[in-house]
Structure 1
Amino acid sequence: MKRILSIFCLLGSHLISAQQATDSARPAALSEKNELKYNLNESGSHFFKVTFLNQTWLRLNQSNPGSTVVSDPKDNTFDIGLRRTRMQLYGQINDHVLVYFQFGMNNFNFQNGFPSFNTAGTPSNRKVQAFFHDAVAEYRVWKNKDYLKIGGGLTIVNGLSRFSQPGVSSILSMDVPVFAQATVDQTDEFARKLSVYARGQVGPIDYRFAVSDPFPIQTSGAVPPALGPNASFALKGHHKQFQGLLLYQFFDKESHQTPGYLTGTYLGKKKIFNLEAGFITQKNATWHTGETPADTVYQNLNLWSVAAFLDMPTNRATGTAISAYLGYFNLDYGKNYLRYNGIMNPATGTTRPIGGLGGTQGNAFPMFGTGSVIYSQLGYLCRQDLLGSAGTLMPYAQAQVNNFDRINGSMGVYSLGLNWLLKGHMSKLTLDYQNRPYFQALPSGQLNAEGRRGQWVLQYQVFI
């Protein structure tokens, strides 16, 4: 045994020495390279690039009352999951043409493929997860100018707000405000739509307008709700969706490279202050019963928002910075529309259904609804040498206050968190605490708040 250990120790010392020799001989430029990019011309203006993102969650959740996990009642759950695992492949292949692809999976934890999340009769399969999020080709009309770009394909180019098309590798908080991805996995594919669009930057104005071909709700992978007195997405008819977003940029311009995606925080690298306004509209998108159950009433989808975004250094010498967002969202899905959602829900069922609504178990809360939402977030980047070579910290807070027609009173969801930026967004740990309400249904169909629950999440993100 001692001889075997001696051999391993000797081998290890040789490997370490060889690695040190290799590192010392490696060119400085190569050792500092932090992107996978292949230049197609000498200047690098034509290129192809690959990125990888993985976000791992360790989570402790207080379940909503009545929650079950694989038919076993659970007041609390602990789970491990992959919130996002993605790869991007994109490039400016000549002066005018950009191609962009994104492939990956989302919300992968122990109950993926569990039967309750499949349409009746569909076999469960935990291996069926990864899919193309984006597949886009885009034409830049003027060489080296961002005045007008025309594109099409499966894309996240959206209206409504910056958080309807978030760059998830750079977000301030542990997760994005998903309510802003207003039709996510209902009539789109994880917020992506088959669209043609025009986008660009002219002076301080950043704009994007799109015409989208929404998916029928029948293809969402879940059994659609039955036609009833409250609005749900219609099972009959098909109409195009129109959307747009305008940003007025007072200082630095935001990146305009990838189609749609907007940065969460620049970590003090830019001085950004924007005002924004956006909308989404679709004819006869939802339906409900009228004065009698035999009557069917169709309603248009009309969503709009206004917001301000601030992200800038406070002291360039020390590297401190502030990031803030405040937005108002006016959301009209139709009469009393309400949808629960729980991010990577750790529960699989409930013994306490709420007013005919689905997915009310686990960490779910009413995330989407007809009414209004005020959303805000605030973060502060500490000095760059706060932890020496171990990086720095960025605490944050976020609040989402909903006033939905079907809920009596306002509803608040609040989060506090701390980012440990080991290497910026490329390697970071985030600890997040979220506090949310849970509800009971009244005979009228309205919902009343009954109490509150919390969830702790530790996320590790690696991005290159």
Structure 2
Amino acid sequence: MSVNKIVLQIVFSIVLIGICSKNLIAQSELTHPKLRYYLSEDKSSYAGFVMINQVWTRVIQNNPDMNGVYEASDFDVGIRRSRLIFYTSLLDKVYIFTQMGSDGLTFNNSEKPQFSLYNAHTEFFLKKDILHVGFGLHTWNGISRYNNSSATKRLVIDNPAFTYPVAGIWDRFGRQLGIYAKGTVAKLNYRMSVAKPFLTGTDLANDNSTTARANDNMAYKGYFSWQFFDKESQSHAITMNNLGKAKMFNIGAGFYYHPEAMFSRTEAENLEVADIFLFSTDLFVDLPFKNGGAMTSYLGYFNYDFGKDYIRSAGRMNVSMADKGMAIPQGIGNSEWEVGTGSILRGEFGYLLPNKMMNSQIQPFSAITYKDFEALDEASTQFDIGVNILQMGHNIKWTFQGSSRPIYNLVAGQNVITDTKWQFIMQAQIFF
């Protein structure tokens, strides 16, 4: 696909949004529907549901093949998420949460759309706000703020894939089966979990490389944050983009530990059993300004240890039809090196403009990611830049984002960056 065609498709998409926006904005009396139903007069018992749809329209500059031949770009429309959530709270003592739906539907899916169970957990309020204990399939995770955040209240279009370092191997969509405890004591918010990881991508044998090892050990994880100003909700996932609705300055730290979960290659090229140990520290700031604007920012440091030279690539909703047998090591389409033994630095910044345009809030943003993996001979720096158009807060939101992707190849025996590709996404998000 030529550059001119890519530009025309992006312009056409923006014009289409403008037409749709006028119809939505004309309904200026729109208010948030009440999808919660109270079961008691004192409102201590209630039931409700949430519907989420996130649709992506993309232009993807694909990875070249192993001979350096460039693949044609892809243009597609896909379902990033379609979810239905049911929740019930009884007498401020028990909370039940269930989430179902489908992710990642594209024209190039090899299977029929899958209807999956994402969450199913029951939570007991042992001491309100201070100690809640829950059981089941859940997302009360460790490592970082990303892993405990809402899928609908983000600054960038989606959490970066490296924030789910065991996805597809030890967890399902960032979830594991386990027992968790969470609460807030003074200004300290905590969540801890003991989980039984899935065995989706593990192996009983080995191929003389660092790889996941089938085992039945428990995993231990936690995330702790000190909230200097306003406190966050205990009932729901935390936000990565609060739109200045509260004064937030939080410092956090988290970990994930899964003993004997890897076959690790040693310096002597032997294999030994090794642990997974991952940790992060991060800072989140969301501040309203007197002029009606707001600033949102995030800074996180991640240190991952899966064993010597472990590395794994991923391509979110990859639609490329290229020959996998001719692929470069990081893969076809939009695949990139996402997770590995090493360190990652991630920063995000957004500014909510004080004045509305066509009854919409405008929020430009940018992000930068620095990855330094043992298995690669050169570290990479990636960029995201975009804008959120919020017609009804996060409930009706359009996001435009461009993201860079480094291309690695072997040059004189060194695994180094030889090119950069881009992916452009327009997301339409509606949830109530």
Q: Secondary structure at the match of 2:100?
A: strand
* Deviation at residue 178 of structure 1 after TM alignment: 2.2
Offset, 1:387:
1.2
Q: Aligned partners of 1:291 and 1:180: how far apart in 2?
A: 28
1:107/1:344 contact within 8 Å kept: yes
Q: CA deviation at 1:431?
A: 0.7
Aligned to 2:174: 191
Structure 1 segments of 4+ aligned residues over 6 angstroms from their partners: none
**1:104–1:443 distance in 2 versus 1, CA, 3 Å:** farther
In the other structure, the counterpart of 1:306 is: 281
1:243 alignment partner AA: K
- The within-5 A match list for 1:138-177 is 138-142=123-127, 145-177=128-160
Q: Does the alignment pair 1:267 with 2:265?
A: no
Q: Secondary structure at the match of 1:90?
A: strand
Structure 2 runs not aligned, ≥5 long: 1-26
Query: What TM-score do you get using the length of structure 1 for normalisation?
Result: 0.82
Q: Deviations over 1:262-321 (max 9, x none)?
A: 21211111111000000001111110455788x531110010111100012022xx4210
Q: Which residue of 1 aligns with 2:62?
A: 63
1:213–1:239 contact (8 Å) kept in structure 2: yes
Q: In the alignment, is the contact (CA less than 8 A) between 1:217 and 1:233 conserved in 2?
A: no
Partners of 1:292 and 1:268 in 2: CA distance: 54
Is contact 2:145-2:282 (8 Å) kept?
Answer: no
* 1:238 counterpart letter in structure 2: D
Do 2:168 and 2:201's aligned partners in 1 also have CA atoms closer than 8 Å?
Answer: no
Other-structure match for 1:458 = 426
Please state if 1:126 is matched with 2:97: no
Partner of 2:10: none
Q: Does the CA-based 8 Å contact 2:195-2:220 persist in structure 1?
A: yes
Distance 1:110 1:225 in 2: 34
Question: Residue type matched to 2:55 in 1?
Answer: T
- Post-superposition offset of 1:450: 1.4
Distance 1:405 1:225 in 2: 25
* Matches of 1:364 and 1:225, distance apart in 2: 26
Check 1:403–1:95 CA distance in 2 against 1; reply closer, same or farther (3 A cut).
same
Map of 1:8 onto structure 2: none
Percent pairwise identity: 31
Counterpart for residue 329 of structure 1: 302
Superposition CA RMSD, Å: 2.2
Using the TM superposition, give the Cα deviation of residue 33 of structure 1 relative to its aligned residue in structure 2, in angstroms.
4.2
- Describe the SS at the equivalent of 2:162: helix
Tell me whether 1:252 sits opposite 2:230 in the alignment.
yes
Shift of 1:256: 1.0
> Which residue is 1:364 aligned to?
335
Give, as a single letter, the amino acid of the residue that structure 2 aligns with 1:141: L
Residue 21 of structure 2: aligned partner: none
Q: Partners of 1:418 and 1:378 in 2: how far apart? A: 11
Letter paired with 1:53: I
Task: State the Cα distance separating 1:49 from its structure 2 match.
Answer: 1.4
- Counterpart check, 1:392 vs 2:361: yes
Does the 8 A contact of 2:64 with 2:328 survive in 1?
A: no
Q: Is the 8 A contact 2:100 2:116 kept in 1?
A: yes
User: Between Structure 1 and Structure 2, whose CA radius of gyration is higher?
Assistant: 1
Q: 1:168·1:264 contact (CA, 8 Å) conserved in 2?
A: no
User: How many residues get paired?
Assistant: 402
2-structure distance, mates of 1:32, 1:63: 42
Q: Are 1:331 and 1:372, in contact at CA under 8 Å, matched by a contact in 2?
A: yes
Q: TM-score, normalised by structure 2?
A: 0.88
**Using the alignment, how far apart are the partners of 2:142 and 2:300 within structure 1?**
14
Question: Contact 1:354–1:441 (CA<8 Å) still a contact in 2?
Answer: no
- Residue 218 of structure 1, CA deviation: 4.2
C-alpha distance in structure 2 between counterparts of 1:38 and 1:240, whole Å: 38
Shift in alpha-carbon separation, 1:225–1:171, aligned structure 2, 3 A:
farther
SS of 1:164 mapped into structure 2: helix
